[in-house]
């Protein structure tokens, strides 16, 4: 295995660890959103739809566009637009970009990996997408759980 390949594997491992750490941090915040969403008329299908979109798309903008459209179309303010929950979620997801930047910056200088090779310039965006997926995964799980509790 070449030196570059070894470095690339080390980078991937460090990246996965950093994303997993962040994901655990997001759990509480995602639960708060799930809690707010249970007071709307949204059902499991809609929240699961968002999670599915996030896990299949290769663009962060697809996720935020999806949410923006649903907020915009919710004229009765009973679903995604209720009490600004959709808008807050858009801001939250866009804000995860800062975490992505921090992770990539730390990987460049820290973790004992002195990168002698240039990292993918698209890495920060890809990490941002991964973080959005993690956040929404927690949100969808909490929502289903809370909704089931509510219906019991």
- Give me the residues that bind another protein (CB under 8 A), please: 58-62, 64-66, 68-69, 71-73, 75, 90, 122, 125
Rounded to the nearest 10 degrees, what angle do helices 44-56 and 60-73 cross at?
150
Token pair for residue 79? 């679903």
Which CB atom, from 7 or from 64, has the smaller least distance to another protein? Answer: 64
Which CB atom, from 27 or from 62, has the smaller least distance to another protein? Answer: 62
Residue 109 to residue 102: CA distance in whole angstroms: 11
Q: Smallest gap, in angstroms, from Cβ of residue 82 to another protein?
A: 14
DSSP assignment, residue 75?
T
Alpha helices in the chain (DSSP H): 3-37, 44-56, 60-73, 85-109, 123-151
Q: Smallest gap, in angstroms, from Cβ of residue 2 to another protein?
A: 19
39: number of Cβ within 10 Å: 11
Which CB atom, from 27 or from 124, has the smaller least distance to another protein? Answer: 124
Which CB atom, from 11 or from 60, has the smaller least distance to another protein? Answer: 60
Whether 14 contacts 122, CB under 8 Å: no
Q: Smallest gap, in angstroms, from Cβ of residue 25 to another protein?
A: 23
Q: Smallest gap, in angstroms, from Cβ of residue 151 to another protein?
A: 30
């Amino acid at each position: 295995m070449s030196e570059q390949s070894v470095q690339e594997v080390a980078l991937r491992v460090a990246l996965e660890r950093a994303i997993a750490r962040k994901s655990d941090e997001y759990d509480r915040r995602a639960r708060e959103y799930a809690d707010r969403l249970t007071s709307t008329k949204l059902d499991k299908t809609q929240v699961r739809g968002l999670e599915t979109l996030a896990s299949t798309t290769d663009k962060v903008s697809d996720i935020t566009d999806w949410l923006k459209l649903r907020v915009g179309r919710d004229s009765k303010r009973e679903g995604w637009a209720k009490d600004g929950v959709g808008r807050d979620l858009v801001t939250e997801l866009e804000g995860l970009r800062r975490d992505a930047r921090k992770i990539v910056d730390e990987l460049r200088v820290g973790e004992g990996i002195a990168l002698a090779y240039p990292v993918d310039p698209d890495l920060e965006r890809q990490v941002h997408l991964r973080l959005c997926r993690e956040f929404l995964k927690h949100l969808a799980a909490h929502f289903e759980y809370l909704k089931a509790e509510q219906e019991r």
